[in-house]
């Protein structure tokens, strides 16, 4: 078939945007609400996605080991 011979260009690979230490610190300190600040710290330190955070239960956190 002629369709199989059509050249499809490859998608350019884009590197992820990496935040500096100062930018991360500014984001984490931007909120005064303790719940929001804790949520951001947890997402950043554990590398969680938003869906993973919303599925997290209190039993998933081992407070004895911190």
**pLDDT tens digits, one per residue of 24-57:** 999 989 989 999 998 899 898 888 998 998 898 8
Does residue 40 fall inside a structural domain? yes
Compute the average pLDDT of residues 19-25. 93
* Cβ-proximal residues to 56 (8 Å cutoff; 6+ apart), any chain: 42, 48
CB 29 within 8 A of CB 9: no
Confidence of residue 23 (pLDDT cuts 50, 70, 90): very high
pLDDT of the residue at 16:
86
pLDDT of the residue at 24:
92
Domain count, the chain: 1
- For 19, the 3-state DSSP assignment is coil
Does residue 46 fall inside a structural domain? yes
Domain that holds residue 34: 21-51
pTM of the model: 0.60
Does residue 30 fall inside a structural domain? yes
Does residue 35 fall inside a structural domain? yes
Does residue 5 fall inside a structural domain? no
Does residue 65 fall inside a structural domain? no
């Amino acid at each position: 078939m002629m369709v199989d011979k059509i050249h499809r260009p490859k998608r350019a690979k884009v590197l992820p945007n990496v935040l500096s230490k100062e930018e991360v610190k500014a984001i984490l300190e931007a909120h005064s609400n303790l719940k929001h600040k804790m949520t951001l710290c947890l997402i950043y330190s554990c590398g969680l996605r938003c869906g993973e955070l919303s599925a997290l239960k209190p039993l998933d956190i081992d407070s004895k080991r911190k």
